[in-house]
Structure 1
């Protein structure tokens, strides 16, 4: 299957606490959202959310994370490749309310909660939305190819064996043939879900973050 990219570090376990573990989350002046609200919206513990927030605050003291900053942070995990294109798609997928840096930390926590602690269907819906580049409710072959190319560019030299330039297109052709059940050139979430649930190889390839966080 296609390579599954890694992501930002997962929140630590409940037992990992810093000296400021009791500090309330977040006091972001642009769009405040309290700890209790995030606890209700995610499957993370208080300690995990505080750790996640501290990590972002270390990189972004203002509490605002824009796409450029997110790309710089993410690129550190893939120095052997070019993560900029994939980070763009990822930022867009996490930025669920399209408020950009104003509420990205909250959106990131909610999205990460789905990917780490969500049901199989929730994870696949998030992945489908990532592949739905123009957010029209459908995934086209071109959408899928854009994402796949960005993943291969990010992985760079770390794929073993080294893969040729045609590898992303070959993967997309295989996936799309299986997913586009009515052959209309577009994959709906229902087609995507049914294919992933029936095909173990497709499921393995589509579960972004599943084995790396």
Structure 2
């Protein structure tokens, strides 16, 4: 599995301070993360690493939050050859664990821990959550197509100049046939985990797409 290096740059792109200093102070206090020892138990970072991550996050994000527009901005900068907007939207929702429209330090560091140091099983569970756009516990063909198309759009034609317009659909059809083991039109977490771990083609493709995280 690839390492998601782009995530570190979120430390430098956070909510703009559009309120007074006193209000910002209150906001920063309100969004203090859990005690670092609790986060250490939740993640695979050392206490020293968490302190370093938090210092950088707090320094660049006085409000303690990253909003979706900021998230989209970073992906536009790293993938100027394509349109990263849609993929960034899906990825933001995967990191926004409580669905409140902002990424807190806790959300950021827990997700980062899984992507950087999680087991294959943990990374695949995180990927399932990314593909399960409406968070109903199932991946539909439409959801998978939306994610795959957004990745192709982000990478741009300069990266994949010979791709046909129907390439994302073919990609999804091939994956879905393998994953939807009981042919009920949806992929469950168990089907996703079992298929991905057993199928070398899917695993290598998953690794390729993880590089855009």
**Aligned equivalents of 1:52 and 1:162: distance in 2?**
41
Instruction: Give the aligned CA root-mean-square deviation in angstroms.
Output: 2.6
- Distance in 1 between residues matched to 2:126 and 2:58, nearest whole Å: 25
Equivalent residue, structure 2, for 1:149: 149
- The alignment's TM-score, normalised by the length of structure 2, stands at 0.80
For residues 1-213 of structure 1, the aligned pairs below 5 Å read: 8-10=6-8, 28-33=28-33, 34-57=35-58, 59-101=60-102, 103-160=103-160, 162-207=162-207
Q: What is the rounded CA distance, in whole Å, between the counterparts of 2:212 and 2:71 in structure 1?
A: 19
Helix, strand or coil at the partner of 1:32: coil
Give the number of aligned pairs.
194
Task: Structure 1 unaligned segments of length 5 or more: list them.
Answer: 12-26
Q: Please state which structure has a larger fraction of its residues in helix.
A: 2
With the length of structure 1 as denominator, give the TM-score of the two structures.
Answer: 0.80
User: 1:99 aligns to what SS in structure 2?
Assistant: coil
Which range is displaced more, 162-171 or 59-68? 59-68
Structure 2: runs of 5+ lacking an equivalent: 10-26
Structure 1 residues 117-171: Cα deviation after superposition (integer angstroms, max 9, x where no partner): 1111111111011100111100010000000011011111352454222111110
User: Deviations for 1:159-197, whole angstroms, at most 9, x for unmatched residues?
Assistant: 245422211111001000111111110011111111111
Whose relative contact order is higher, 1 or 2, with alpha carbons under 8 Å and at least 6 apart? 1
